[in-house]
Structures are given as C-alpha cells and as structure tokens.
A and B are shown apart, each in its own frame.
Chain A
Amino acid sequence: MAKTLFQKVWDAHSVRRLANGQTQLLIGTHLIHEVTSPQAFGMLRDLKLKVSMPHRTFATVDHIVPTDVFAEPYADPLADAMIKELRKSCQEFGITFFDRATGKQGVVHIVGPEQGITQPGTTIACGDSHTSTHGAFGALAFGIGTSQVRDVLATQTMALGELKVRRINVTGKLQPGVYAKDVILHIIRTLGVNGGTGFAYEYGGEVFDRMSMEERMTVCNMSIEGGARVGYVNPDQTTFDYLKGRPYSPKGAAWDAAVERWKSFASDADAKYDDVVTIRAEEIAPTVTWGINPAQGISINENIPTPAGAKDANEKASIEEALAYMKLEAGAPIKGTKIDVAFIGSCTNGRLSDFQEVAKYVKGRKVAPGVKAIVVPGSQVVQEICKGLGLDKIFSDAGFEWREAGCSMCLAMNPDKLVGDQLCASSSNRNFKGRQGSPTGRTVLMSPVMVAAAAITGRIADAREVFGVSKN
C-alpha cells in the first residue's frame, strides 16, 4: 500500500503499542541543550537510571550563552550553573558535547544538520519546540518536554500518538524578494496558529523542490508556530548533496547504501493524505507580523487589521489585545512603522545563506541612526565561514554588531534583550508578548532581508523598494 514518509518512518521506529493506545516510538537521535535537560538528568539520577544510547545523544549550549563575551564563568551565575550542569552530565553519561572549545557549538537546530547528524528517514527528539527544523531532511523531528527528555535519555523511546498528515503544496515560482520565511509566515497566516493541531505537515510542490536545504529548514522550523507537531520535506538529491561529506554522514560504501535507504523513505506518489492544501507561490508577498502570535501576519503592503473586520468575537478580542500590546493603529499601513532594534539570527534564519543574502544588500549601506542592529550567526561553524568570506566586515561596516553564535535575542535568556517597549524587526520565529526579554517589548517577524531594510531605513519597509529589487 502506498505510504507517506511519515507512515514509513513511524512504522520503522515503532517498538510496540502501549496500554493507552499510544506507540512506544524509538528515537534514533536525541539532541539536548542546557535549558531543558538539567532537570531531566536530575530525574534520571533520582530513578537511578542510565542513558540508554549515549552514542545517539548529542549536546550543545545555545540559549543562555552571551554573544559578546564568552569568558567563563558567565556574568550571570544562573546561566553559569546551567552550562556547568550540562557539561557535568555529559561527562557522567558519556555524551558528545559540542562545547565552545570544539568549535562546533551553536543553536541545536543548526548544529545537527551542519554536522550531518540530522539524516533522512530517522526520528529525532529534542527538548525544544523548533526541533521540527530537522524535518527538512525527511526526518520526523519532535519537540518534547523535559519528562520526555528523561524518557528518551533512559529508554531511547517515548510514548506518542500517531499523527494525521497534511500535504501542503506550494506551486509555481516565488516572486523576486520573496523568501522561505515569507512562505511559512504565509502558510501560518492562512491555516492559523492551531490549524496544524494533530497533524504532521508535509511540504511539497515546485517551490520546495527548488529550495535549498537551508530554505527548507526555515520553513520546517516554524511548523510548530502553525500548531503542527512536526513538518517535513521528502528527501531528494538536494538533501543528499547537502549531507555528503559532513562529519557524521556515512562514508564510502555506507554512503551509497544510506542514499538508497533514504530514497525509500520518501512519500509514495500515490500516498493518501488526511488533508491537502495548495498555495500558489505568486500569491505570497514579503510578509510581516503585526500582532502577538505568528499567524497575525500581513503582506508588507497591507494595512493592519481592524477589530471591526474580525470574523467573530474571538478574533475581535485577539485583534484588540494585539493592537493594544503592539501600540499599533488599526487600519494603518504597517509599512513606515518606526523600529528601535533589528535582529538577524536564530534557528529560523541564522544560517550561512541568510547572511550571504543580506550581505549582498547591506554592503555599502548604513544602519539608520538610533537603530540597534545585531547579527548573530547560528553556530561557530557559520561564524567561521562568514568571517572567511568577509561578511562580518560587511555587516560591521554597515553599522551592525557582529556577534558570536547563540540564540541571543530570539528569546533573550542571555544578556541580549529589548528594553521597555522597543520595537524589534526580527528574523526569529516568535512574536509573543515579552518574548525578546522585555515584558513590554514588541516583535515584528520577517525575513532577514526585510530586517535589513528596516535597519537601514529605521522603519518597517518593503525590502524590494529599499534595495531596488524589481517586483517582476
């Protein structure tokens, strides 16, 4: 019978059915970081359990690391305790830790792929919701809570109910100046923040066929913002080309066998889906959020929604709450809104191609006076490559602060935070109240190139106009 990738990978990793009807699912790759794992190691010790497959567990440190000064101990004693705790647990249980000194540290969802740990047809879990990123390789990648981190550490499995699969086709060709980030913001806007509840999202169609791995990761990353438990793209030649030669990729004869196996996991052409949604690429414009959840997005040339235009009382209340928090005017254009901070980075848009694309446009330009603009590479590896290409210099010449690898202002668990009600043009993935470290801080999500346009003009702008990209 024809099957989807989801079903094939699920079946290959199903250990058994549990009494409550859920499946005990084998998790081939477990990624951990400092925020959600210390408590899990604590639980493990309390239960006198060992890590079941330390060789399939990989750690890094990302959320709390300062991105300006790296010297330990960290200025923040709580952050310092967290990194020490992780280091200790990794030693105790024999887990590979991509610590700063290895030169491979970075945001967990950037490290896994760039090391070749993330592979097609596998199951991945991490105590972090953006684990869905790894689905770009045709893996089932689950964000989990700390108790499940404990479960996976102890048994390399977790209990999970099977998901339905929604195929999302994006057909046609993206317009110039429209990026993967716009595709996912558009999808979330269309299907809603909880439209994906109970679903795995399978992304396909010409737009995805043409996308690079880094672009696919940007889209899969934000599946969780659409409520889906996982998101994935079927593996193809682009996937294999990306993985070839990476440190953890199979080598020699094992490589050929792996590619054959990986191909077999792709959804069959006649697979049945629980739902199918088709979106035309031409309809997607540069998209920005105006509210306090990622579905509250509009295209750059649209006006901010009004409570009167809401389709029901719930939506009306949400719009009112968002406008009050964002201090934006109903019905006004979003374009031209003044910004205070610009942030380029995160596991959504902190990869090499993001910085390369932005550097093309900021070269020879200057950040507007009064705007604080920071650029944070997603990993030490990205950092090094960018430096080798001279991108760090292009950014600093333009007035951006070039930082060290980490999550930084995506969630501001490190010193990088908004102050007061500053408004931040951000390439990250969440615009929740207080997300960027100030309880009244305001976040407007957009693609990295749009963030650059906002940094340079000091206002939310249409990057195509600012940078002279023809709209067609």
Chain B
Amino acid sequence: MSLAKITQVSGRGVTVPGNDIDTDRIIPARFMKCVSFDGLGEFVFYDVRKDADGKDREHPLNDPRFRGATILISGVNFGCGSSREHAPQAIQKYGFRAIIAENFAEIFFGNSTTLGIPCVSASAEDIRKLSAAVEANPQTEIVVDVDAQQVRFGGQAIPVTIRSSARDALINGRWDAIGELIEGLPSVRQLATTLPYLAV
C-alpha cells in the first residue's frame, strides 16, 4: 500500500479554545450509530455548535471568517476520553488536515496519526501567538512543517514537537501500519506457536 508522504500541511486555521476537549464533545455518542464513517464530518462538535433546535450557536466553526480552515488549534489534553476513532474521522471528514494543541490524549493521537492527521504540540505561549494571528487575520496561511517540527505563519515561526515514531511514519508515508503488519504475518504465526493460549 503506498501512502502519501506527509511532510507538511498548509492552510488556514481556526482555534477551538479550551482544555481537556474530550471525544464525546468532538463527536457525541448518538452520532456513532453508523456502520460507516461517511457523513460524520457535519456532526463534529455538534452539541457545542448547535442549540437544542439544531440552530447555529456562537462557535468558531460557525464563524464565516474561519470557513474553509483546515488546521485546528486547541489547548491541553485534546481528544481525551473515549477511544472512538469517530472523533478524528469526523475532524478529517469536516476538512481538517492537521491539529496543533498543547498536547494530546494518547489514543486520540494514535488514531489521528493512523489517518494521516499530524498532531503537533506547541507551548501555551506559542499557541496564544498563533491564535492571535489567526484571529487578527483569518486568511493567515499556516504551514505545519512535520519534518522540521515547526509551524510558520505570517512571518513568524514557532517550534512544535511530535513523537518521533509518528513523525517518521508521516514523513515516510507509513502512517497506516497495515501494509507493514501484513508483511510480518509469517513471524506472527511463528510467535503464536510459543503462546499456549493461542492454540486452536
């Protein structure tokens, strides 16, 4: 399986402020009643974007200035809670290509990487700078340079970090492990014979 090498992602940004934004908030459980991920995009952050009657509330994703943004900016512990891949799937289907936050919950980070969504971490101070620039000019072009571990925007550059295994997987086009895992199948069968509980 040949996958794109994701060395950098560029586009406009939008900040969804807050810490500990959990996957229940990213995609409420009732939208997980589906047998395919198609169509999840429109429900991203649904309960904070819409009121009880389904009308738009004040929310960055409803703000026309940020329409078409492809880079999501947020705070601490983004994506905590449920392991539902529906969350990064909804984010991706909505149109986001990268996420910049102070840090990420473990399973969310792994799920996102597997979908080819780079999740990079920046300091609170730098995220404030970036958000301020986006707020001041929503057209600001942001470059998330996964390879160089840097985010550039409006003439500024901030350092970001991404776990080395994820960086390697993204920039070398092996973020979806399935191909490599299949290659290992003969060794898997071998190892399985050493574990009595796997006997048929």
Residues of A within 8 A of B (CB): 12-16, 18-22, 24, 26, 28-29, 35-36, 38-39, 42, 47, 49, 52-53, 55-56, 63-64, 76, 78-79, 81-82, 85, 119, 122, 127-129, 131, 143-148, 150-151, 154-159, 161, 193-194, 197-198, 224, 227, 229, 254, 257-258, 261, 292-293, 314, 317-318, 321, 411-413, 430, 432-435, 437, 439
A147 with B165: CB separation less than 8 A: no
| Complex partner residue of A145 from B25, B107, B195, CB under 8 angstroms | B107
A37 to nearest B CB, angstroms? 9
Which residues of chain A are near B188, meaning CB under 8 Å? 15, 24, 26, 52, 155-157
B85 with A56: CB separation less than 8 A: no
B184 with A15: CB separation less than 8 A: yes
Supply 7 A–B pairs (Cβ within 8 Å), ascending by A.
Answer: A19-B168, A28-B197, A36-B84, A42-B35, A122-B197, A194-B80, A227-B105
Which residues of chain A are near B35, meaning CB under 8 Å? 38-39, 42, 81-82, 85
A39 to nearest B CB, angstroms? 6
CB contact list, B15-47 vs A, under 8 A: 18-20, 22, 24-25, 28-30, 32-37, 47
| Complex partner residue of A22 from B81, B165, B178, CB under 8 angstroms | B165
Given known contacts A15-B187, A147-B114, is B84 in contact with A158 (CB within 8 Å)?
no
A26 with B192: CB separation less than 8 A: yes
B182 at the interface (CB under 8 A from A): yes
B195 to nearest A CB, angstroms? 6
| Complex partner residue of B172 from A20, A26, A432, CB under 8 angstroms | A20
A434 with B47: CB separation less than 8 A: yes
B97 at the interface (CB under 8 A from A): no
Which residues of chain B are near A147, meaning CB under 8 Å? 85, 111, 114-115, 176, 178
B185 at the interface (CB under 8 A from A): yes
A418 to nearest B CB, angstroms? 12
Question: How distant is the Cα of A82 from the Cα of B52 in the complex, in angstroms?
Answer: 26
B55 at the interface (CB under 8 A from A): no
B132 at the interface (CB under 8 A from A): no
B34 to nearest A CB, angstroms? 7
Which residues of chain A are near B166, meaning CB under 8 Å? 20
Which residues of chain B are near A437, meaning CB under 8 Å? 29-30
Residue of A nearest to B84 (CB): A36
A24 with B84: CB separation less than 8 A: no
Question: How distant is the Cα of A76 from the Cα of B114 in the complex, in angstroms?
Answer: 32
Residue of A nearest to B198 (CB): A28
Which residues of chain B are near A63, meaning CB under 8 Å? 29, 32
B85 to nearest A CB, angstroms? 3
A128 with B83: CB separation less than 8 A: yes
B111 with A145: CB separation less than 8 A: yes
Given known contacts A227-B80, A321-B18, is B28 in contact with A157 (CB within 8 Å)?
no
Which residues of chain A are near B106, meaning CB under 8 Å? 197-198, 227, 229
A257 with B196: CB separation less than 8 A: yes
B4 at the interface (CB under 8 A from A): no
Residue of A nearest to B1 (CB): A47
Which residues of chain B are near A16, meaning CB under 8 Å? 184, 187
Which residues of chain B are near A78, meaning CB under 8 Å? 33-34
| Shortest Cβ-Cβ A-B pairs, 7 listed | A145-B85, A145-B111, A78-B33, A129-B83, A159-B177, A38-B35, A439-B47
Which residues of chain A are near B115, meaning CB under 8 Å? 147
Which residues of chain A are near B105, meaning CB under 8 Å? 194, 197, 227
B107 with A39: CB separation less than 8 A: no
Which residues of chain B are near A35, meaning CB under 8 Å? 32, 84
B181 with A127: CB separation less than 8 A: no
Question: How distant is the Cα of A225 from the Cα of B89 in the complex, in angstroms?
Answer: 22
Extra 9 A-B pairs, beta carbons < 8 Å, given A63-B29, A193-B80, A430-B81: A15-B184, A18-B180, A26-B188, A227-B77, A317-B18, A412-B29, A413-B29, A413-B32, A430-B24
| Complex partner residue of A433 from B25, B76, B124, CB under 8 angstroms | B25
Question: How distant is the Cα of A156 from the Cα of B197 in the complex, in angstroms?
Answer: 14
Given known contacts A39-B36, A145-B84, A154-B182, is B25 in contact with A21 (CB within 8 Å)?
no
Which residues of chain A are near B158, meaning CB under 8 Å? none
Question: How distant is the Cα of A224 from the Cα of B189 in the complex, in angstroms?
Answer: 31
A351 to nearest B CB, angstroms? 21
Question: How distant is the Cα of A57 from the Cα of B86 in the complex, in angstroms?
Answer: 22
Which residues of chain B are near A79, meaning CB under 8 Å? 33
Which residues of chain B are near A128, meaning CB under 8 Å? 82-83
Which residues of chain B are near A411, meaning CB under 8 Å? 24, 29, 82
Instruction: Mark B101-134 against chain A: 1 for CB-CB distance below 8 A, else 0.
Output: 0010111001100110000000010000000000
B164 at the interface (CB under 8 A from A): yes
Which residues of chain B are near A53, meaning CB under 8 Å? 192, 198
A157 with B184: CB separation less than 8 A: yes
Given known contacts A39-B37, A151-B178, A157-B188, is B24 in contact with A293 (CB within 8 Å)?
no
| Complex partner residue of A19 from B19, B172, B195, B196, CB under 8 angstroms | B172
Which residues of chain A are near B52, meaning CB under 8 Å? 439
A294 to nearest B CB, angstroms? 9
B80 with A293: CB separation less than 8 A: yes
